[in-house]
Amino acid sequence: MTNMEQIMKGPDKIIVIGSSTGGTHVLFNLFTDFPRINAAILIVQHMPQQMNNRLAARIQCGTKMEVSVATEGSPVIIGKIFIAPSGRHMKVFHDKEIKLFCGEKVNYVCPSIDILMMSFSKKYQGKIMGIVLSGMGKDGTEGIRHIKEIGGQTIVQNPLYSTVRSMPESAILSGYVDKILSFAEIKESMVEFAGS
Amino acid sequence: MADNKKKSLMIVDDDTDILFTIESIFQRRGFEVFKAQSGDECLEHLENGFLGIILMDVMMPRMNGWEAIKQIVERGYSDKVIISMLTAKDAPDPDLDYLKEYVIDYITKPFEPQELVALVDDYLSLL
- Helices A166-173 and A141-149 cross at an angle (nearest 10°) of 40
Measured between alpha carbons, how far is residue A196 from residues A3, A13, A150, B87, B101 in Å?
A: 18, 12, 24, 41, 33
- The residues that bridge with A131 in the sheet, in sequence order, are A17, A155
User: ipTM of this model?
Assistant: 0.81
How wide is the angle at C-alpha A29 spanned by C-alphas A27 and A34, nearest 5°? 95
Domain count, chain A: 1
d(CA B91, CA B68): 18
pLDDT for B32-61, tens place per residue? 999 999 999 999 999 999 999 999 998 888
Q: Would you call A131 helix, strand, or coil by DSSP? A: strand
Closest by Cβ to A51, choosing from B94, B97, B126: B126
Please tell me the predicted confidence (pLDDT) of residue B4.
44
Mean pLDDT for B123-127 is: 89
Closest by Cβ to B101, choosing from A24, A47, A55: A47
Please tell me the predicted confidence (pLDDT) of residue A8.
67
Cβ separation of B102 and A48 shorter than 8 Å?
Answer: yes
Closest by Cβ to B122, choosing from A24, A137, A165: A24
The answer to whether residue B1 scores a pLDDT higher than 70 is no
User: What is the CB-side half-sphere exposure of residue A72 using CA atoms within 13 A?
Assistant: 4
pLDDT for A8-44, tens place per residue? 666 789 999 999 999 999 999 999 999 999 999 999 9
The band of B90, judged by pLDDT with boundaries at 50, 70 and 90, is: low
- Measured between beta carbons, the chain A residues lying within 8 angstroms of B124 are none
Domain extent, residue A69, equals 3-194
Cβ separation of A24 and B105 shorter than 8 Å?
Answer: yes
Mean pLDDT for B99-118 is: 90
Please tell me the predicted confidence (pLDDT) of residue B6.
55
In which residue ranges of chain A is pLDDT below 70?
1-2, 5-10
pTM of the model as a whole = 0.90
Chain A residues with a Cβ under 8 Å from any Cβ in chain B: 20-22, 24-25, 28, 46-51, 54-55, 58, 86, 107-109, 135-137, 163-166
Count how many residues are written for chain B.
127
Report the residue of B90, B96, B104 to disrupt the A interface, i.e. the one with the largest count of A CBs within 10 Å: B104
Q: What share of chain A is helix, strand, coil (3-state, %, to 5)?
A: 35, 25, 40
**Residue A152 phi, psi (nearest 5):** -95, 175
Mean pLDDT for B7-12 is: 95
Nearest of A12, A14, A11, A28 to residue A133 by alpha carbon: A28
CA B76 to chain centre: 16
Task: Check: CB of residue B92 under 8 Å from CB of residue A164.
Answer: yes
d(CA B12, CA B40): 10
d(CA B41, CA B32): 17
Task: Check: CB of residue B9 under 8 Å from CB of residue B120.
Answer: yes
What's the CATH number where A73 sits?
Answer: 3.40.50.180
Please tell me the predicted confidence (pLDDT) of residue A95.
80
Q: What is the second-level CATH architecture of the domain B3-124?
A: 3-Layer(aba) Sandwich (3.40)
- Measured between beta carbons, the chain B residues lying within 8 angstroms of A54 are 125-127
